[in-house]
Structure formats: structure tokens, C-alpha cells
């Protein structure tokens, strides 16, 4: 089979695809899945070639449509595998190839139909699939849940991927952690710095520090500095929402200091104290805004208590005023 | 000068009346300075757009036409027409044709964040902002609105609403009701025992811009009180000051979002169908 070459200008995925189609035709007819590995190889190569082809098309100013076409072909392959019988264990691999294509193209909404087939069809028993495919599958579906802000489900899936991932594969572990860490942060679980260093995820270091310290300015700086990267991998919006947790930490610190100075009155925090503290941290917010933030913290169960508008005092509950997030997202 | 009505392209007589570019430029100017209502302008602009499309004119004039139409649509609350124009503009700017691309970046951003629930679209709109765009005042304002909405900061939202540049306020308009309802739910849960209506009037944007005028403040108070009652808030009068208050604990159980009874498809309730039929030629 001819291989694509930059010299010839146009790569030859069409011929590759004809080969693929021919193979698929025969594969359907064979009863046993003896050629599964070969089928997978075909699927993988089609995707990689299509990606390369699209890159070359873009460079020569043409419309990159090869990857999309590869996606259509792989859906047919999936169809051939989503049948009763031994062939079905190969379906998850193809599903993952499809995920890679859809994520690359940005058409992640197309993932929905394959996910539905895998998760609801009676043909599949998830436990039957090979581990490496399950890890990849959980990684991608976990990422989708991050987009939908279903943090508890995202946590489950990404943690599964982390637990079952080959411990030697540092780059895969890093990929999973890149998405798992923001999810964990959203539910109040902070990673140790050693973890961030080990997997080279230091873009999260300042964010974690800002949560520990209650330092809003640091959070904003960190988001600004890594904005492009965080937007591109899609975790920016999730991290932005950590703002309220940072405020909460600040209020908690004030509470702790007040408790040391005057324990009987510690549960009452004057609004002016909050405004002054923020000013001292370099953040200018007027009283209305600070009051609003306090109201939001109470509303979202980050703080237990109430705000007395007339006396401008935040009154904390005497029991457990800063309830643990306990895995529940804000 | 012939004034074309918007007719299906199949009409041959229409094809014979397609106007050349310089005439279209004058027609655009006439629409811009016309005193007639939105439906009339919309009709005229669609006709200009069609004449441009038929002649395959894709230049700065085309951009100006879509920008003008988009702005009128925003002012009238016609989100679907605005979206049509925005997608054409995105395409034309992408081909390098000059126009107010920064202004429309901001509108696009606001539209995605306030009127669609699609996080991916929001992420890619934000990611595609150039360095230049991030320094533009209208875009910065839109990003600040995003920040406020993201953390539920209603005080910030209404502050930004009051001093919105360009037509940002028109896009925010369609989200005001929702933001106010979220705010009142938040306040009902977190304030005890009461919160003054005067305070709510101020922070939820019920007061007119000129707060030094007592009449404006009074109007705002009345509007706010009506709004609160329409959403199930329970009001009491403070014994000492005689001021109207929201009883937050009771209200938190009785708040609701009423059915919009004067919803119109193009958003401007003052434009009735009869108006369209009676338009002057």
C-alpha cells in the first residue's frame, strides 16, 4: 500500500480507506474475531493518517475534511463490532478512536451516540473490555463530564482511569491528572505540591496556594498567567469558579484570628473588617460587593450563618460554620 | 429611487430591480437615519442584504449592512436576527474584511455566555480573543460580566449593566430577569431577619441612572416593590423606620418565577402586528 509523502503533496488516505473498507467487508463475514488486532490497527492508522492529511491540507490552504471522513468510517467499524458475540469486546477500542477524533475536531456532541450504545445496549458488559480500553474510555467520558460541570461523576470516572492506568505510563497519568485536579479542587480536595512537581502540572501550583491562603489576588494572577493553556484544555471555567472557595478561606482565617482575640464574639464578623482585609490584600471592593459575596457564600452552603443587613455583620453559626465541602460541588 | 420589498428570489421582476452598490450605500444611509420602526428597518435591510448577495458583493459595505442590522436587532431584542447577522459578520471578518470586529466580539461573547448553556462554545470564544481584543473596553466589559455571572455576583452584574458600553446592555437586558431572581433567592436564604426594599432597589438596578432625583428613586422603589410581589416575596413594614422590608425567611419558601405573559417573539412588546401591516411605503 502506498504511504503518504510530503513530496507528492496530497497524501493518500482515500486508497487507505478503500483498503480499510475492503477489510471491514471481509471482517464482517468472519464469524470469529481472529482478525480483531488487525481491525484495530486499521482503525488506528486511518485516524493517524487522516490527522496528518488534515495538517497538510491546512498548510496548503485547503479545507481539512479527512479526519471527519475517518470518523464516518470508524462509525461503520463500530457498527460491525456492536453485535452479539465475541466481536463486541473490540468495540471499546474503536469507541476511543472515535473520541480522539471528535475531541480533535471539537465535535464532542457526537460522542453522545457512541456512549449511549456502550452504556445502555445489552450487547456490552463493561467489565469484559480490556483494561487499557476502559481507562481510555473513562478518561474521555470523564472529560466530557467536566465540560458539563457534573463534578461528582467526573471525579468517579477520572479516578477510575487513574487507578487502573499503567503506573509506568507517566504521560498518561499526567493527562488524567490534568483534568482530575481541577475537579478535585472544585469539591475541596487539594493535591500536595509533590504531586504537581512529579507530573509537571505546576500551572496549578499557585491556584492551590491561593485556596490554602485565601489569596484572591494570587488566584486571579494564576488564571491570567496560564489563561491560554487553561482555556485550550477547557478547565478555565472550572477554575474560575474556585473564587468563592478562596473568599471562604479568607473569612475562615479572620474567624480564627477573632477566636484567639475574643472568643465570645468570634462568630460575628463586621463587614468593615472584611472590606479592610481585602483592601490590605490589594483588592478594592466596595461594601455592597463584599456584602454580596458573603450572601453568595451562605447561599451556596460554603458558610453556615446569616447576614444582618442593618448592623452590617456576618453572623456565623456557632456549630460548624465552615462545613466541609464533603465531595459536594459548590 | 425604487424601494424594494423583500420578495422570494424566484420573482423575476425582483431580479430586474436589483440595485447597484452605490445605490445600496444610499439605501443603507436612509435606513440608518429613518425614524420608522424596527420592522420597517428590518424589512429594508433584508432587501439590501439580498441585493448584495445576488451580486456577490462581499466587502466593507456588506459588513456595514450586517453591523447596522445587528445593532437594530439588539436594540429591539430580536436575538434570532442578531444571531444571523453575527454569523455572517464572523465569516466576513474572518476573511479579513474591515469592520467593528472588536465591538462584535464583545456582543458574541455576551450572547454565548448569557443565552446559551454551551460551555465549549464559551471556552472557544474566549480562547479565540486576540491580545488586541482583550484590551478593548467593550470586550473587557463583557469579560467582567462573565466573571460576575460565574460567581453569582449580582451587585457587580448590575453595576456593569448601568455603565455598559456599546450595546452590551441590550444583551444583558435579556438576562436581567434571571439575575434578579437568582439574587432574590440568594438574599432570602442569607439575610436575616429582613432586607430593606430600598437596598434591593439600588443593587438590582431598579433605580434610574440619575439617583439624585427623588422622583427617579421613588419610581424605582415602586417598580421594585411590584417586581418583588410578582415573584412571591413577602413584604413587611419596619416598626421603627416605617420602611418597607422583605421578610427573608418567609419569602424563601414562597419565591417563584412567573410565566411571561407579554412575551413577544422579537422581544419588543411595543411592536404590534398591526403596526407591520400599516407601515408606510
Provide the shortest C-alpha distance from residue B32 to chain A (in Å): 38
Q: Are residues A178 and A289 in the same domain?
A: no
B107, pLDDT greater than 60: yes
Which residues of chain B are within 8 Å of residue A232 when distances are taken between CB atoms?
Answer: 127
A153 assigned to some structural domain: yes
Provide the shortest C-alpha distance from residue B122 to chain A (in Å): 9
Q: What's the DSSP call for residue A190?
A: P
Q: Are residues A84 and A162 in the same domain?
A: yes
B26 assigned to some structural domain: yes
Q: What is the pTM of this model?
A: 0.83
Cβ-nearest to A234 among B123, B152, B187: B123
Cα–Cα distance between A121 and A289 in angstroms, integer? 51
Cβ-nearest to B153 among A228, A296, A309: A296
B151 assigned to some structural domain: yes
Q: Are residues B184 and B198 in the same domain?
A: no
Q: Are residues A87 and A207 in the same domain?
A: yes
A23 assigned to some structural domain: yes
A214 assigned to some structural domain: yes
- Whether B186 and A295 lie within 8 Å, measured CB to CB: yes
B166, pLDDT greater than 50: yes
Looking at the DSSP bridge assignments, the partners of residue B191 are: A307
Q: Are residues B73 and B121 in the same domain?
A: no
Looking at the DSSP bridge assignments, the partners of residue A11 are: none
- H helices of chain A, in order, are 13-29, 36-59, 66-81, 91-105, 111-120, 131-147, 151-164, 170-186, 193-198, 205-213, 216-225, 227-232, 236-240, 243-261, 271-280, 287-299
Q: What are B195-205's pLDDT values in tens digits? A: 999 999 999 99
Cβ-nearest to B191 among A147, A228, A309: A309
Sign of CA dihedral A120, A126, A132, A136: positive
Cβ-nearest to A295 among B120, B191, B196: B191
Q: Are residues B70 and B164 in the same domain?
A: no
Q: Are residues A305 and A165 in the same domain?
A: no
How would residue B75 be classed by pLDDT, with cut points 50, 70 and 90? very high
Q: Are residues B4 and B36 in the same domain?
A: yes
Domain end call among B141, B164, B190: B190
- Whether A298 and B189 lie within 8 Å, measured CB to CB: yes
B142 assigned to some structural domain: yes
A8 assigned to some structural domain: no
Q: Are residues A227 and A259 in the same domain?
A: no
Q: Are residues B15 and B93 in the same domain?
A: yes
* Cα angle A224, A226, A232; round to 5: 115
Which residues of chain A are within 8 Å of residue B191 when distances are taken between CB atoms?
Answer: 295, 306-309
Which residues of chain A are within 8 Å of residue B154 when distances are taken between CB atoms?
Answer: 292
DSSP A208-221: HHHHHHT-HHHHHH
Domain end call among B132, B164, B190: B190
Q: Are residues B94 and B6 in the same domain?
A: yes
Q: What are B12-61's pLDDT values in tens digits? A: 655 567 888 889 999 999 999 988 899 999 999 999 999 999 888 899 99
Domain count, chain A: 2
Which residues of chain B are within 8 Å of residue A147 when distances are taken between CB atoms?
Answer: 119-120
B238 assigned to some structural domain: yes
Structural domain span for residue B233: 193-258
Domain end call among A190, A224, A240: A240
Element containing residue A313 per DSSP (H, E):
strand A313-316
Query: Taking CA atoms, what residue in B is nearest to A300?
Result: B186
Going residue by residue through chain A, which has 330 residues, state the pLDDT in tens, using 9 for 90 and above.
444 444 444 445 567 667 777 777 777 777 777 788 888 888 888 888 888 888 888 888 778 888 888 888 888 888 888 877 777 888 888 899 999 998 888 888 888 888 888 887 776 778 888 899 999 999 999 999 988 888 999 999 999 999 999 999 999 999 999 999 999 999 889 999 999 999 999 999 999 999 999 999 999 999 999 998 898 888 999 999 999 999 999 999 999 999 999 888 889 999 999 999 999 888 888 899 999 999 999 999 999 999 999 999 999 998 889 988 765 655
Domain end call among A206, A240, A274: A240
Looking at the DSSP bridge assignments, the partners of residue B236 are: B245
Provide the shortest C-alpha distance from residue A107 to chain B (in Å): 10
Q: Are residues A104 and A82 in the same domain?
A: yes
Provide the shortest C-alpha distance from residue A237 to chain B (in Å): 8
- Whether B150 and A237 lie within 8 Å, measured CB to CB: yes
DSSP A246-305: HHHHHHHHHHHHHHHH-GGGTTEEEHHHHHHHHHHTT----HHHHHHHHHHHHHTTSS-E
Q: Are residues A207 and A278 in the same domain?
A: no
pLDDT, mean of residues B227-236: 92
Closest CA to A131 of A170, A163, A154, A158: A163
Q: Are residues B142 and B214 in the same domain?
A: no
B198 assigned to some structural domain: yes
B5, pLDDT greater than 90: no
Domain count, chain B: 3
Provide the shortest C-alpha distance from residue B256 to chain A (in Å): 17
- Whether B153 and A106 lie within 8 Å, measured CB to CB: no
Which residues of chain A are within 8 Å of residue B119 when distances are taken between CB atoms?
Answer: 147-149, 234, 237
A330 assigned to some structural domain: no
Which residues of chain B are within 8 Å of residue A294 when distances are taken between CB atoms?
Answer: 190
A66 assigned to some structural domain: yes
B123, pLDDT greater than 80: yes
A326 assigned to some structural domain: no
Q: Are residues B116 and B130 in the same domain?
A: yes
SS (H, E, C) chain B: CCCCCCCCCCCHHHHCCCCCHHHHHHHHHHHHHCCCCHHHHHHHHHHHHHHHHHCCCCCHHHHHHHHHHHHHHHHHCCHHHHHHHHHHHHHHHHCCCCCCHHHHHHHHHHHHHHHCCCHHHHHHHHHCCCHHHHHCHHHHHHHHHHHHHHHCCHHHHHHHHHCCCCCHHHHHHHHHHHHHHHHHHHHHHHECCEEEHHHHHHHCCCCCCCCCCHHHHHHHHHHHHHHHHHCCCCEEECCCCCCEEEEHHHHHHHCCCCCCCCCCCCCCCCCCHHHHHCCCC
- Whether A309 and B199 lie within 8 Å, measured CB to CB: yes
Q: Are residues A251 and A214 in the same domain?
A: no
Q: Are residues A203 and A236 in the same domain?
A: yes
Neighbours of B207 (CB within 10 A): 22
Query: Taking CA atoms, what residue in B is nearest to A312?
Result: B191
- Whether B126 and A231 lie within 8 Å, measured CB to CB: yes
CATH assignment at residue A135: 1.25.40
Q: Are residues A255 and A222 in the same domain?
A: no
Enumerate chain B positions whose Cβ falls within 8 A of a Cβ in A.
Answer: 119-120, 122-124, 126-127, 147, 150-156, 185-187, 189-196, 199, 203
B266 assigned to some structural domain: no
The C-alpha cell at A206 is: 499557585
The β-bridge relationship of strands A268-270 and A313-316 is antiparallel
Q: Are residues B10 and B85 in the same domain?
A: yes
Residues whose CB falls within 8 Å of the CB of residue B35, separated by 6 or more in sequence, listed in order: none
Domain end call among A240, A260, A292: A240
Cα–Cα distance between B154 and B126 in angstroms, integer? 22
Which residues of chain B are within 8 Å of residue A299 when distances are taken between CB atoms?
Answer: 152, 185-186, 189-190
Element containing residue A308 per DSSP (H, E):
strand A305-308
The C-alpha cell at A134 is: 476502559
The C-alpha cell at A199 is: 507530573
Q: What integer pLDDT is reported at residue B276 of this predicted model?
A: 52
Which residues of chain A are within 8 Å of residue B189 when distances are taken between CB atoms?
Answer: 298-299
Cα–Cα distance between A137 and A117 in angstroms, integer? 13
Provide the shortest C-alpha distance from residue A67 to chain B (in Å): 20
B31 assigned to some structural domain: yes
Q: Are residues B212 and B165 in the same domain?
A: no
Q: How many CB pairs under 8 A join A and B?
A: 76
Structural domain span for residue A211: 15-119+126-240
- Whether A236 and B195 lie within 8 Å, measured CB to CB: no
Q: Are residues A189 and A295 in the same domain?
A: no
B7 assigned to some structural domain: yes
Cα–Cα distance between A88 and A106 in angstroms, integer? 27
CATH assignment at residue A278: 1.10.10.10
The C-alpha cell at A16 is: 487507505
pLDDT, mean of residues B256-276: 59
Provide the shortest C-alpha distance from residue A307 to chain B (in Å): 5
Cβ pair B100, B139 in contact under 8 A: no
- Whether B194 and A309 lie within 8 Å, measured CB to CB: yes
Q: What are B81-91's pLDDT values in tens digits? A: 999 999 999 99
Q: What integer pLDDT is reported at residue B1 of this predicted model?
A: 47
Which residues of chain A are within 8 Å of residue B147 when distances are taken between CB atoms?
Answer: 240
Q: Are residues A140 and A285 in the same domain?
A: no
Which residues of chain A are within 8 Å of residue B186 when distances are taken between CB atoms?
Answer: 295-296, 299
Q: Are residues B238 and B225 in the same domain?
A: yes
A255 assigned to some structural domain: yes
Amino acid at each position: 500500500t502506498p504511504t503518504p509523502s510530503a513530496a507528492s503533496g496530497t497524501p493518500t488516505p482515500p486508497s487507505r480507506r478503500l483498503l480499510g473498507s475492503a477489510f471491514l467487508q471481509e471482517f464482517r463475514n468472519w464469524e470469529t474475531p481472529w482478525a480483531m488486532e488487525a481491525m484495530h490497527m486499521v482503525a488506528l492508522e486511518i485516524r493517524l493518517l487522516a490527522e496528518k492529511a488534515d495538517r497538510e491540507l491546512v498548510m496548503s490552504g485547503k479545507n481539512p475534511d479527512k479526519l471527519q471522513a475517518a470518523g464516518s468510517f470508524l462509525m461503520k467499524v463500530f457498527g460491525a463490532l456492536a453485535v452479539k458475540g465475541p466481536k463486541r469486546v473490540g468495540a471499546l477500542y474503536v469507541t476511543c478512536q472515535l473520541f480522539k477524533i471528535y475531541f480533535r475536531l471539537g465535535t464532542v456532541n457526537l460522542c453522545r451516540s457512541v456512549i449511549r450504545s456502550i452504556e445502555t445496549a445489552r450487547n456490552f458488559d463493561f467489565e469484559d473490555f480490556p483494561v487499557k480500553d476502559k481507562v481510555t474510555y473513562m478518561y474521555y467520558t470523564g472529560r466530557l463530564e467536566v465540560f458539563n460541570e457534573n463534578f461528582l461523576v467526573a471525579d468517579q470516572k477520572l479516578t477510575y482511569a487513574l487507578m487502573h492506568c499503567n503506573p509506568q505510563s507517566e504521560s498518561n497519568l499526567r493527562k488524567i491528572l490534568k483534568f482530575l485536579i481541577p475537579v478535585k479542587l472544585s469539591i475541596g480536595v487539594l493535591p500536595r505540591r509533590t504531586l504537581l512537581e512529579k507530573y509537571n502540572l505546576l500551572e496549578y501550583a499557585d491556584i492551590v496556594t491561593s485556596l490554602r491562603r485565601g489569596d484572591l489576588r494570587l488566584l486571579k494572577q494564576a488564571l491570567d498567567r496560564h489563561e491560554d493553556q487553561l482555556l485550550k484544555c477547557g478547565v478555565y471555567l472550572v477554575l474560575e469558579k474556585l473564587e468563592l472557595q478562596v473568599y471562604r478561606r479568607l473569612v475562615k482565617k479572620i474567624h480564627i484570628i477573632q477566636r484567639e482575640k475574643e472568643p465570645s464574639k468570634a462568630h460575628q464578623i463586621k463587614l468593615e473588617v472584611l472590606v479592610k482585609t481585602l483592601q490590605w490584600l490589594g483588592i478594592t471592593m466596595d461594601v455592597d460587593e463584599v456584602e454580596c459575596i458573603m450572601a453568595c457564600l451562605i447561599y451556596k452552603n460554603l458558610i453556615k450563618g446569616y447576614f444582618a443587613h442593618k448592623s452590617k455583620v456576618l453572623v456565623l453559626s456557632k456549630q460548624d460554620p465552615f462545613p466541609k465541602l464533603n465531595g459536594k460541588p459548590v | 429611487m425604487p424601494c424594494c420589498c423583500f420578495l422570494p428570489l424566484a420573482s423575476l421582476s425582483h431580479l430586474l430591480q436589483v440595485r447597484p452598490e452605490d445605490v445600496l450605500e444610499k439605501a443603507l444611509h436612509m435606513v440608518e437615519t429613518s425614524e420608522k420602526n424596527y420592522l420597517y428597518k428590518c424589512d429594508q435591510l433584508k432587501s439590501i442584504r439580498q441585493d448584495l448577495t445576488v451580486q456577490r458583493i462581499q466587502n466593507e459595505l456588506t459588513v456595514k449592512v450586517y453591523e447596522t442590522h445587528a445593532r437594530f436587532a439588539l436594540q429591539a431584542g430580536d436575538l434570532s436576527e442578531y444571531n444571523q447577522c453575527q454569523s455572517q459578520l464572523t465569516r466576513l471578518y474572518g476573511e479579513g474584511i474591515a469592520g467593528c470586529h472588536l465591538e462584535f466580539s464583545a456582543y458574541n461573547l455576551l450572547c454565548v455566555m448569557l443565552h446559551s448553556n454551551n460551555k465549549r462554545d464559551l471556552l472557544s470564544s474566549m480562547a479565540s480573543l486576540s491580545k488586541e481584543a482583550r484590551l478593548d473596553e467593550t470586550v473587557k466589559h463583557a469579560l467582567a460580566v462573565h466573571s460576575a455571572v460565574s460567581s453569582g455576583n449580582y451587585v457587580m452584574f448590575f453595576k456593569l449593566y448601568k455603565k455598559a458600553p456599546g450595546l452590551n446592555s441590550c444583551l444583558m437586558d435579556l438576562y436581567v430577569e434571571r439575575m434578579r431572581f437568582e439574587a432574590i433567592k440568594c438574599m432570602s436564604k442569607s439575610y436575616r431577619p429582613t432586607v430593606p426594599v430600598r437596598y434591593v432597589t439600588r443593587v438590582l438596578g431598579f433605580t434610574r441612572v440619575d439617583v439624585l432625583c427623588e422622583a427617579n428613586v421613588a419610581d424605582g422603589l415602586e417598580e421594585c416593590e411590584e417586581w418583588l410581589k410578582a415573584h412571591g416575596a413577602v413584604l413587611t413594614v419596619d416598626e421603627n423606620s416605617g420602611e418597607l422590608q422583605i421578610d427573608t425567611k418567609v419569602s424563601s419558601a414562597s419565591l417563584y418565577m412567573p410565566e411571561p405573559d407579554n412575551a413577544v417573539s422579537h422581544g419588543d412588546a411595543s411592536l404590534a402586528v398591526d403596526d407591520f401591516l400599516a407601515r408606510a411605503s
